[in-house]
């Protein structure tokens, strides 16, 4: 399982994101991302450059809720030259804007709503949307399993895994314990994102400090 460290809290990029990167730069985290909201474009530029400096893959997750804002975020991602864009449900626009730039697009399957984002939809909805993403040429999806309103998170991951075949399945949102990481791995996820649970210290409540929280996540991955 890959750990994607999101420099975010409550679905927004944190204002001290550059300092956070510096604090964990030597821990060997190789997948780091941020949301399309919370900081300005210039800060995103600095973030992208700093993540690359430490040898990590750069992710942007789109949590904007309107079509125009989602497309604007994809345009920004192309300008930033990030590696992967997560979220939204605009595969056709991604093929037009992101694919020619070599940026992978991982849409939200299901019915994302609001901010912080929640996920509506049944296992069938998820399976159908994963099939649509596969047919659209996406390399995978970004599933908000533990934000689900209408279905069991583990059942959603299993449905997505079956529909995606060998494409990449990233699970995002509310992964806040080693038990949830293990459950996602057992259900077939390839990677997961964590932001809030690391930054607020709730992933490993018995440990203090950002570095110890990230270390606990890395240990859970190894287990």
**Structural domain range at position 29:** 2-222
Sign for the CA dihedral angle at 166, 92, 174, 52 comes to positive
Both tokens assigned to 171: 């699970």
pLDDT, residue 115, reads 82
Across 147-163, average pLDDT: 96
Q: Which CATH number is 51's domain given? A: 3.20.20.70
pLDDT digits (tens, 9 = 90+) for 92-121: 999 999 999 999 999 999 999 888 889 999
Percent over 70 (pLDDT), the chain: 100
When divided into structural domains, the chain yields a total of: 1
- Residue 9: HSE in the Cβ half-sphere, 13 Å Cα cutoff: 11
pLDDT, residue 114, reads 85
The whole-chain average pLDDT of the chain stands at 96
Res. 65 pLDDT band, cuts 50 70 90: confident
CA angle (143 as vertex; 32, 176 as ends), nearest 5: 60
Q: What are phi and psi of 83, to 5 degrees?
A: -85, -40
Across 4-14, average pLDDT: 95
Of 203, 183, 205, the closest CA to residue 195 belongs to: 203
Question: Is this structure's pTM higher than 0.85?
Answer: yes
pLDDT, residue 98, reads 97
CA angle (176 as vertex; 175, 181 as ends), nearest 5: 55
Q: What are phi and psi of 45, to 5 degrees?
A: -60, -45
Residue 98 to residue 84: CA distance in whole angstroms = 9
- Residue 154: HSE in the Cβ half-sphere, 13 Å Cα cutoff: 9
């Amino acid at each position: 399982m890959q750990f994607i460290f999101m420099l975010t809290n409550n679905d927004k990029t944190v204002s001290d994101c550059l300092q956070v990167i510096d604090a964990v730069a030597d821990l060997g985290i190789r997948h780091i991302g941020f949301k399309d909201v919370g900081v300005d474009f210039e800060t995103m530029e600095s973030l992208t450059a700093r993540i690359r400096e430490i040898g990590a893959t750069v992710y942007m997750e789109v949590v904007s809720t309107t079509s125009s804002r989602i497309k604007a975020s994809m345009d920004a991602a192309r300008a930033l030259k990030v590696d992967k864009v997560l979220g939204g449900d605009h595969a056709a626009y991604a093929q037009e804007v992101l694919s020619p730039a070599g940026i992978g697009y991982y849409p939200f399957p299901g019915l994302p709503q609001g901010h912080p984002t929640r996920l509506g939809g049944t296992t069938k909805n998820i399976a159908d949307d994963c099939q649509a993403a596969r047919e659209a040429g996406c390399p995978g999806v970004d599933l908000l399993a533990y934000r689900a309103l209408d279905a069991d998170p583990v059942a959603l991951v299993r449905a997505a895994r079956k529909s995606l075949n060998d494409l990449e399945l990233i699970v995002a949102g509310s992964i806040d314990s080693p038990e949830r990481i293990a459950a996602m791995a057992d259900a077939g996820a390839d990677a997961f994102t964590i932001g809030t649970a690391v930054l607020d210290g709730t992933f490993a409540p018995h440990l203090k400090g950002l570095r110890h929280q990230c270390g606990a996540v890395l240990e859970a991955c190894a287990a």
